[in-house]
Amino acid sequence: MATRKEPKALDMPGYCCSPLCKIDKYLYAMRLSDETLIDVMARFRREMKNGLSRDFNPTAAVKMLPTFVRSIPDGSEKGDFIALDLGGSYFRILRVKVSHEKKQTVQMESEIYNTPEDIMHGSGTRLFDHVAECLGDFMEKQQIKDKKLPVGFTFSFPCRQSKLDEGILITWTKRFKASGVEGADVVRLLNRAIKKRGDYDADIMAVVNDTVGTMMTCGFDDQRCEVGLIIGTGTNACYMEEMRHIDLVEGDEGRMCINTEWGAFGDDGSLEDIRTEFDREIDRGSLNPGKQLFEKMVSGLYMGELVRLILVKMAKEGLLFEGRITPELLTKGKFETKHVSAIEKSKEGLNKAKEILTRLGVEPSHEDCIAVQHVCTIVSFRSANLVASTLGAILNQLRDNKGVGRLRTTVGVDGSLYKMHPQYARRLHKTTRRLVPDSEVRFLLSESGSGKGAAMVTAVAYRLSEQHRLIDETLAEFKLTHEQLLQVKKRMRAEMEAGLKKKTHETAKVKMLPTFVRSTPDGTENGDFLALDLGGTNFRVLLVKIRSGKRRTVEMHNKIYAIPIEVMQGTGEELFDHIVTCISDFLDYMGIKGARLPLGFTFSFPCKQTSLDAGILLNWTKGFKATDCEGEDVVYLLREGIKRREEFDLDVVAVVNDTVGTMMTCAYEDPNCEIGLIVGTGSNACYMEEMRNIEMVDGEQGRMCVNTEWGAFGDNGCLDDIRTIYDKAVDDYSLNAGKQRYEKMISGMYLGEIVRNILIDFTKRGFLFRGQISETLKTRHIFETKFLSQIESDRLALLQVRAILQQLGLNSTCDDSIIVKTVCGAVSRRAAQLCGAGMAAMVDKIRENRGLEHLEITVGVDGTLYKLHPHFSRIMHQTVKDLAPNCDVTFLLSEDGSGKGAALITAVGCRLRDAEQN
């Protein structure tokens, strides 16, 4: 324990020191040095830690009770509420109306009801019948018996809570002793009493401790307020703690208000070295000996009594009143805390002392009055000093939680001692600032006390529950039922059939383009192949060496070339000359200019193929605009470019779509792979269809890979019943409005946009970002899909979600982050389910094509959304399982479908061509 240092002289009026020095010596044990106070602060910080920890809480003296109050008022609360405030000898009921015209205003009307001693000490049933009766009377006067208003219940006793609307009384304090309440839920007891009356109904939404009420009342006026402090009849404090430190409540996200119940600090003996004989005597004579020892050293209920005990002892020892002791002076409760306040007033204090002491019959001299004033000062100053040290511990905890060098915060304060005592507040502020110099603390006096606070907690709870209801209602549109997903599957199937049939192909939206790829690799492919990959702003040339035999190997070399914007949007001749220049550079780089190598051309734009090596460009996408290409055969354009160069010759064997390349790459690893799927920036799928079903190509035998171009599913309106206003907004503002509607609901390029549109709507409705729409949020495509993947990662705590939102210029609270995470989850879940429904249609079609009861098949997959999103693949797989129960589908990640895949298609094309020639 800290060694005692002689404390500084108290800030006393300048009296002669001799009689006072005697008192200083006499009450030496009550005068605490800063060193002692800093030690008490460290002890209390340890107690807080114990109370928060699961292992130590059961034995901890300071209980650190979670209150389930998770946020401070944000200024958007409104409504009509009732607050009950039970915590002392009288009981208050308030009606609080919070409205929003120009600025938030609060109107309050209240009634005070007496709580007689016999009810405080009688049975619990009588106590709650009394409360219910007073509430009935109040509602009658307010003429609101027919309304069911939300009620907040300030119940200023230590309670355990597992949710906001329950409070299990741990122990009575402050002279209350009603039987049968400890261990019971006070909300249930009150509800039962109200029901028994049957003349009105009330919706008790929150049980609040008066300390929390104080914090919330002040939080309404100052959003920095995160500590509540009461110094009145009793004493207590609460503050906003990080969820990650609260072992007793599930979850690490956000903050929750902790009711410290600090009155019990010291009940385990940790303050014995600073308790005095007078503190021990007070405790012995109390209703709850051994309990609330800290409270008994500092609160208003005990302060007058402490002074009386000191005066009695000093009189007995002849130090006061010439040794006179009267029956009044010996009567417990005759010297009250309000007397201490009166005596310490700077001007009339000594006159008040004379008046009060005369009433006690001790005939005080002028010196006696000065001495008594000094005793009062020592006792009340000790109280302020002790409260400053426990408050200091809370401020240090907040500062460390925030990881800041300097804490700026507000403490909401209430309580008669703090308000009425002439010097108390000033001393408390001064000592606090001395003990925690690195905190800027504003002390805000709570107007109208804990009742308004209970209404505020109720208002916040009401706002959050209303808000959750509206958010759930909005996001419900993204929750697709099993029936809806079966409908999507059924419609996809119908659209696929329409694309395959001659008579409906022209009008069909899902084009089902034949690729003339008639077989997947069989493992005998061998040789060196070139692959070109054109599908974006970069262009790749690859050399792929495929070796068959026992140890099949694929070796790849590639080089990436940029395509300047002026080439993308110039003439077709310039574009293909640029491509040929890049090929030429690559052949030199690899030293293979002489060989006439077979080449596969991955061309990721919509093409109508008439053979494996002919593809007519239907239309440019992705920012390409080169002239004289649409409607032309791209292989012909490439061959012409090579001719113009007159440097080398190549054997162009195949035009390849990247989805088909993905299927082929995986089929090389797993012969069972007959489907390709891409879910990245865009989305598409292909699969092996029976030739007899492909009416656009002659021949009945064997199979051919069909490129579905399924992104356009829904362009004829067949998905309108599940498209939301947000989908429509994303479509309306896109480059190709009305096209690729299915793709816009499932692929990476658009999911972030859907989320952004929902966030804007939620902000406009006041659910997010305090209703402030930032410039960033108005910027299209700011919400990249990678952010979705990061935000939904289970490993990320909310703090990291906040950091991601901050990068986007969105200043979010923890509540905001939770909502953003929920929105991202709803959008990506729907995307995965819709994608799964399309895939289910495809696997079931293959199963029926082959007349099988049960199909085992592998899907080759590529794309950033599928690869990087933490939940997409799992949800999609599950959906396929649910919607196509007779198919056993394996998903295989593809490695480089557009490069390796193109080479494999070329290799298979060469193999089949050689077989035909032989």
The residues that are catalytic are: 540, 604, 658
Q: Are 229 and 263 in contact (CB under 8 A)?
A: no
Other beta carbons within 10 angstroms of residue 361's beta carbon come to 13
Which strands form 150-155's sheet, in the order they lie side by side?
Answer: 104-114, 90-100, 79-86, 150-155, 203-208
Distances (CA, A) of 898 to 353, 517, 555, 613, 912: 95, 15, 15, 16, 21
Tell me how far apart the alpha carbons of residues 652 and 632 are, in angstroms, rounded to a whole number: 16
Q: Kindly tell me the sign of the dihedral angle through the C-alpha atoms of 301, 307, 311, 313.
A: positive
Three-state SS string across 823-859, please? Answer: HHHHHHHHHHHHHHHHHHHHHHHHHHHCCCCCEEEEE
| 3-state per-residue secondary structure call for 528-546 | EEEEEEECCCEEEEEEEEE
Number of other CB atoms surrounding residue 694 within 10 Å: 21
Q: Which residue has the tokens 């994608």?
A: 835
| CB atoms closer than 10 angstroms to residue 329 | 19
How large is the C-alpha radius of gyration of the chain? 40
Q: What angle do CA 146, 148, 151 make, to 5 degrees?
A: 135
Q: How far apart are CA 195 and CA 125, in angstroms?
A: 13
The overall longest dimension of the chain from CA atoms, in Å, is 134
Asked whether the beta carbons of 653 and 599 are under 8 A apart, the reply is yes
Please tell me the distance from the alpha carbon of residue 260 to that of residue 51, in angstroms, as a whole number.
8
Q: Tokens for 884?
A: 């196509």
With a CB cutoff of 8 Å and minimum separation 6, the contacts of 105 are 98, 99
Distance CA 414, CA 449 (A): 6
Cβ count near 232 (within 10 Å) = 24
Tokens 């609360």 map to which residue?
77
Residue 183 tokens, joined: 């261990």
> Would you give the distance in Å from CA 555 to the centre of its chain?
47
Alpha helices in 482-548 (DSSP H): 482-500, 502-505
| Dist CA 102 CA 705 (whole Å) | 65
Locus of tokens 């010596």: 25
Structure token digits, residue 830: 């729907």
Phi/psi for 878 (5° steps) reads: -60, -40
CB crowding 870-905: b at 16 or more within 10 Å, else e = bebbebbbebbeebbeebebebbebbbbbbbbbbbb
Which secondary-structure segment (H or E) carries 29?
A: none
Half-sphere exposure of 201 (CA within 13 A, CB side): 4
Answer yes or no: are the C-beta atoms of 818 and 467 closer than 8 Å: no
Q: How far apart are CA 682 and CA 865, in angstroms?
A: 9
**Residue 7: C-alpha distances to residues 32, 35, 373, 384 (Å):** 6, 9, 19, 15
Closest CA to 460 of 107, 252, 799, 205: 205
DSSP helix/strand/coil, 257: strand
